[in-house]
DNA sequence: GTGGTCTAGACCACT
DNA sequence: GTGGTCTAGACCACC
């Protein structure tokens, strides 16, 4: 796993986003057992406290839950994962449309370009 | 003019991108006279040499040209500006599609979402 | 290494040409490690930034590449080096033919003279 | 007449070379009357003394002569002009061959390249 | 210790 | 007064 962490934003925040991506993209499946905090922290090259903070935030969002004795798991609420996935997608789309509009492309031109680019990209 | 410069990437590179955006978005029109280097540098809050470097790069790309004594101008090659605009748009699209794919959206689903989001955004 | 720098043209430009010559003439072989910037600058008697600028330009042309921490190297693309060599040779020839024509020698007379001069030079 | 004078070598020397070129290239014909020193100096944007020095040198070489009363003339010795022309051509050729050799081209390859370049240049 | 970047301040040519 | 160049010296990321 590549944990490409930049120094321009809080680390824990980047960890939240990366783990969220792992969950919504299916890399981590609903119900999967997470690795121990210390191991995750070690793999990511961050302080265990920082990783702990990220996991706590994800628990607050409901994407993870922990049972004190057996460890920490990805939520089994597939609908929640789906909602988060859609929410992230909408965010991507909103940002994207804004950037394209700044370049002078309205929705129709943008969709036309997408068709063209993805045709070429084959 | 807002010169929102971050500390995570070379400043001259951000300057190149910002000025490119001003040109392709029409804020700076083909043939327009640029402000003097020192003035631009002052406005952006950077060293004149840094601004100089950015402008030199844009000159290399053909988006600007300078006559030694009278100042610096936006190219009059509207076709070049258009090409750069399209190239930037394609880059945006490629990146966007990659991010959407990571979220599990293929081209069709993505376009469907765009339609939905932009309908809601009205 | 002799760095005969004149004051009539930008130093960084002369550095570019000199190093290019070292590469195309084989003094620097494909894949060779370059000396550190600061050392080169010192040897040439110029400011490190000036040498840096020259090397950056050569990197842009693809004749050099650098890995952040281990140093800077001559490209391993022998074909590129060959292309540059041919391009320089063509430039020499074009200039030469122009000068000879100004002296009233067309291509045939010029070649005849070359034969004569190089016979005498033996 | 363009008197492109650089600041890196003695002006009078550059004047000598430029006027020599005018004579051997036929721009100034054998026997032609030269313009008055002051006029030449004015046209070239140099001090009359500097032009005077250049003309004196050309007289020393025999390419010009002056009759105190009627002015200064190009020599009528066509053979001398021819000899100077050949001498300049040989110099060009020697320099050229040296530069080509540094690029790794021997006489044969050089002549081959000349044929190729002048064919393309049509 | 390496390359990369940035700042500050100077000088030059051109006109 | 413009752009272009150069120097000196500093800091940073990376390994």
Task: Give, for all 122 residues of chain D, the pLDDT tens digit.
Answer: 777 777 667 888 888 999 999 999 888 999 999 999 988 888 888 888 989 999 999 999 999 999 888 999 999 999 999 999 999 999 999 999 999 999 999 988 999 999 888 887 66
With a cut of 90, say whether residue A39 has pLDDT above it. no
Which chain C residue is nearest to residue D100, measuring alpha carbons?
Answer: C89
Residue C47: CB less than 7 A from any atom in strand F: yes
Q: Is D31 left (phi over 0), alpha (psi -120 to 50) or beta?
A: left
- Per DSSP, helices labelled H in chain A are 11-24, 37-44, 48-60, 78-102, 107-120
Burial of B41 (0-12, 13-18, 19+ CB in 10 A): buried
Q: Which nucleotide is nearest to C13 (CA to C1')?
A: F5
> CA–C1' distance D52–F13 (Å)?
63
> Cβ within 7 Å of strand F: which of B 4-43?
34, 36-39
Question: What single DSSP character describes residue D61?
Answer: T
pLDDT at C53: 92
Averaged pLDDT score across all residues of chain A: 89
Residue A112 has pLDDT above 70, yes or no: yes
C11 touches strand F (CB under 7 A): yes
For residue D69, the distance in angstroms to the closest alpha carbon of chain C comes to: 32
CB-strand contact B51/F, under 7 Å: no
pLDDT value at residue D122: 60
Q: What is the pTM of this model?
A: 0.85
List the one residue out of B91, B103, B113 whose CA is nearest residue A99.
Answer: B91
Whether B106 and B114 have beta carbons less than 8 Å apart is answered as: no
Distances (CA, A) of C33 to B48, C39, C67: 34, 13, 11
Q: Could you tell me if C30 and C77 are in contact, meaning their C-beta atoms sit under 8 angstroms apart?
A: yes
What does the pLDDT read at residue C40? 92
Residue C50, nucleotide of least CA–C1' distance: F6
Q: If you ran DSSP here, which 8-state letter would residue B29 be given?
A: -
Instruction: Provide the pLDDT for residue B122.
Output: 58
Per-residue pLDDT at C120: 73
Give mean pLDDT, residues A39-59: 89
Backbone φ/ψ region at C31: left (φ over 0), alpha (ψ -120 to 50), beta: left
pLDDT of residue C121: 61
D71 φ/ψ angles, rounded to the nearest 5 degrees: 120, -160
Q: Give B21's contacts in chain A (Cβ within 8 Å).
A: 102
Which among D7, D93, D104 has CB closest to C113?
D93
Q: How far is B68 from chain A (nearest CA, A)?
A: 31
What nucleotide is nearest B64 when CA is compared to C1'? F3
Q: Judge whether C15 and C46 are in contact, CB under 8 Å.
A: yes
Do the Cβ atoms of B28 and B39 come closer than 8 Å? no
Cβ burial of C66 (10 Å; 0-12, 13-18, 19+) is middle
Over residues C13-29, the pLDDT tens digits come to 999 999 999 999 999 99
Q: Where are the beta strands (DSSP E) in chain B?
A: 64-67, 71-74
B69 Cβ contacts chain E strand, under 7 Å: yes
Distance between CA atoms of B6 and C42, rounded to whole angstroms?
34
Contact yes or no for D81/D25 (Cβ under 8 A) = no
Task: Give the D-side interface with C, CB within 8 Å.
Answer: 6-8, 21, 24-26, 85, 88-90, 92-94, 96-97, 99-100, 102-105, 107, 110-111, 113-114, 117-118, 121
Distance (Å) from the alpha carbon of C110 to chain D's nearest alpha carbon: 9
pLDDT by residue (tens digit) across B54-110? Answer: 999 999 999 999 988 899 999 999 999 999 999 999 999 999 998 998 888 988 899
Looking at residue A121, its pLDDT comes to 63
Lookup result for tokens 């030694």? B68
H-type alpha helices, A61-77: none
Least Cα separation, residue D102 to chain C (angstroms): 6
How far is Cα D105 from Cα C40, in angstroms, rounded to an integer?
28
How many Å apart are B10 CA and E5 C1'?
7
Are D25 and C97 an interchain contact pair (Cβ–Cβ within 8 Å)? no
A74 forms beta bridges with A64
Give me the residue from C92, C113, C114 closest to D99, CB to CB. Answer: C92
């Amino acid at each position: 796993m590549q944990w490409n962490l930049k120094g321009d934003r809080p680390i824990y925040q980047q960890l939240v986003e990366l783990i969220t991506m792992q969950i919504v993209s299916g890399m981590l499946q609903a119900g999967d057992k997470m690795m121990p905090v210390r191991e995750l922290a070690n793999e990511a090259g961050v302080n265990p406290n920082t990783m702990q903070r990220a996991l706590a935030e994800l628990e607050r969002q409901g994407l993870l839950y922990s049972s004190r004795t057996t460890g920490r798991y990805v939520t089994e609420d597939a609908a929640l994962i789906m909602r988060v996935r859609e929410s992230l997608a909408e965010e991507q789309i909103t940002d994207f449309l804004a950037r394209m509009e700044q370049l002078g492309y309205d929705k129709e031109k943008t969709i036309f370009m997408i068709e063209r680019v993805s045709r070429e990209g084959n």
